[in-house]
Amino acid sequence: MNVQMIISGVGGQGILLLTRIFSALALKEGLSIIGSEDHGMSQRGGSVLTHLKIGNFRSPLVKRGDADILISLEKNEAYRTLSYIRPSLQGREGGLCFINAPDPDFLNKNIKEYLKEKGIGVFVFWASKLAMDMGLVQSTNIALIGFATSHPRFPFSYEKMKDAVIEVTPSKFHEINIRILEKAFLEGKNSMAF
């Protein structure tokens, strides 16, 4: 398996936790992983961007237009990182974007059309509301990946994701995190967006 991912958001949204979840997942599967995270000044309330490459890769940076998966926890950061996503090419389907935002139609119309034309799947899901309603708004990140696992082309299964969440997050939050993951997964399944 070769998967290139971009995870973007704002400092404090738990981007690094997601990175660790995917790393744990890859390790368990015996897959090589290389990625890059932001620290220091770039974190003090700024944009956070993680590159993650699972498979046969040497460089930790995803090239723009190469990402199979874009996970964005904030809509402006989604705009900033949208050009990372891979268009469809020679029969191969385009990449998938999963964006946390309240308004499913927030994307600029022209951009939406362009992405559709290029075979790029864009899915807007209000993960923060789900997490907040479940009582743990800090797990917005968990909710978003839960939703993502419901997509048939998402490279990681719900079960494997669940195991990784349990491995990486503190035990006192296991129960609620799994409930959030599950609820988001089910909402994804029911949404028939796919």
CA distances from 41 to 6, 9, 47, 48, 149 (A): 20, 15, 10, 11, 32
Which position has the token pair 């890859």?
26
Six-digit token pair at 55? 């498979």
- Establish if 57 lies at the interface with another protein (CB under 8 A): yes
Query: Which of 43, 193 has the CB closer to another protein?
Result: 43
Per-residue binding string, another protein, 78-117, x by CB under 8 A, is: -xx-xx---x-x------------------x-xx--xx--
Stretch that binds another protein, among 30-38, 145-153, 171-179, 186-194 (CB under 8 A): 30-38
Q: Which of 58, 56, 40 is nearest to 48 (CA)?
A: 40
User: ∠69-71-77 over CA atoms, to 5°?
Assistant: 125
Q: At what angle do helices 158-168 and 15-28 cross, to 10 degrees?
A: 110
CB of 91 to another protein, least distance (A): 14
- Establish if 173 lies at the interface with another protein (CB under 8 A): no
Q: According to CB under 8 A, which residues from 58 to 77 bind another protein?
A: 58-66, 76
Which position has the token pair 């909710």?
143
Query: Which of 61, 157 has the CB closer to another protein?
Result: 61
- Establish if 137 lies at the interface with another protein (CB under 8 A): yes
Query: Which of 2, 191 has the CB closer to another protein?
Result: 2
- Establish if 49 lies at the interface with another protein (CB under 8 A): no
Out of 17, 43, 134, 193, name the contact with another protein by CB under 8 A.
43
Q: Which of 71, 11, 10 is nearest to 35 (CA)?
A: 71
CB of 18 to another protein, least distance (A): 12
- Establish if 40 lies at the interface with another protein (CB under 8 A): yes
Question: How far apart are alpha carbons 105 and 61 in whole angstroms?
Answer: 30
DSSP 55: S
CB of 35 to another protein, least distance (A): 4
DSSP 152: T
